[in-house]
Structure 1
């Protein structure tokens, strides 16, 4: 396995800081199908972004190293994070998420368009259990499991300050529970199932479930902006972060 893949350090002491972890993640080539897809998308591009230089690599998490709240998604979008190099940036799902974060006082602005747009998150970090854009937005179970050590390491580095986690969707929920257990939290057995509004108390950490901010959910009204704001506001308050009305 490539030395820049999670398997290259899973059994050894990992990066000692989130910036170091982010650099390692951005070099990972552990999943051949995902590497081929993300690079093909970056070459061919979407017509609307023909003049853009795509990131075309694994997308690291985004947010401060002392975050008290973590938001966990699914994977970068082919023409969103895979293009911009920032989680939930440059696509409609990200538009919904960052607007909600701004509405509750957790983001400095309501939009996220590029890695250098000046956006700052306040006490919250955004990540995914799979760091490469997958075909049809569907990572394979083996790809999810291969990527898990990155999430485990991220959780361990965040543990001194982390107090709450919001997981967007069932895929992220299923990926996050074993990662949380491996990172040192006691996860109930049997593991709790996903539902919107789920809340699970771990030792020193509150875990919240929320429907994913996918277009399928937001366009149909399954997840409304108010529903998303309510989950984020509750989670942020639990984490001890100041929130807006």
Structure 2
């Protein structure tokens, strides 16, 4: 039986000790030992990465998984890589972060009413978790959203993987329609709840270099989604 966390601080501690997926454990620890030449003098985090942001967040941002030399190095979601550069610059531009950069877990970054998380907490080889790894990790995200439930009003999902991984987590707290809504950039689905306020679910292309370097996702496109989500969350 999986342990249930009493609060987000306890959940974050539990996440960082997880060793449930042998392939991911081996990869994240190998990367932390071999390192990238540019970071050879740094000590890598090399563990599962917890969510980042306040425990009373009204908005959540759901990505994919930690980057091998980003969050797997720094220990904070979307920190220390190009994807994070794009995301935090946009969050700052729309008033959801106190600074536009995120380089280390001790750089003073604070999020306003926003928490960043992912369906998979360990860096996967080639940025591709297996379906089994996704499903094994699901209970962490499920507990996190349950703990955020009193204040959570909107979620922005970055990419189709996160969208597909998130929908099963949202049931039965919110009513996900059948057939399930499809991922598109700028998608908006409002999910009613049996009890309490609805959840506003937004889609955005992922902030990967594959999307941002090619112009498939521009800063203006990302900021537009974040502004809509901010308004829906009441921030």
For 2:114 and 2:93, how far apart are their aligned partners in 1?
A: 14
Which of 221, 231, 234 is residue 227 of structure 1 equivalent to? 221
Distance (Å, rounded) in 2 between the aligned partners of 1:31 and 1:73: 19
Pick the aligned partner of 1:89 from 57, 79, 84: 79
Offset, 1:16: 1.2
Task: Determine the structure 1 residue equivalent to 2:177.
Answer: 188
1:205 to 199, 203, 222: 199
Paired positions, count: 230
Encode CA deviations 1:107-141: one digit per residue, 9 max, x unaligned.
00000111111100000000000000000000000
2:205 & 2:86 partners in 1: Cα distance?
A: 12
Q: Which residue of 1 aligns with 2:195?
A: none
- The answer to whether 1:216 aligns with 2:216 is no
Q: Show CA shifts across 1:164-216 (max 9, x none).
A: 0000000000000001115x111111111100011100121100000000000
Q: Does 1:134 align with 2:124?
A: yes
> What's the C-alpha RMSD, in Å, of the aligned pairs?
0.7
Shift in Å, 1:62: 0.1
**Distance apart, 1:8 and its partner CA:** 2.8
What are the equivalent positions in structure 2 for 1:85-164 lying under 5 Å apart? Answer: 85-164=75-154
TM-score by length of 1: 0.93
Deviation at 1:18, TM superposition (A): 0.4
Specify every segment of 5 or more residues in structure 1 that has no aligned partner in the other structure, as ranges.
Answer: 1-6
| Runs of 4+ deviating beyond 3 Å | none
Alignment deviations for residues 56-83 of structure 1 (CA, whole Å, 9 cap, x no partner): 0000000000000000000000000000
Q: Deviations over 1:20-56 (max 9, x none)?
A: 0000000000000000000000000000000000000
SS in 2 for 1:125: strand
Structure 2 residue aligned with 1:56: 46
Distance between the aligned counterparts of 1:99 and 1:18, measured in 2? 26
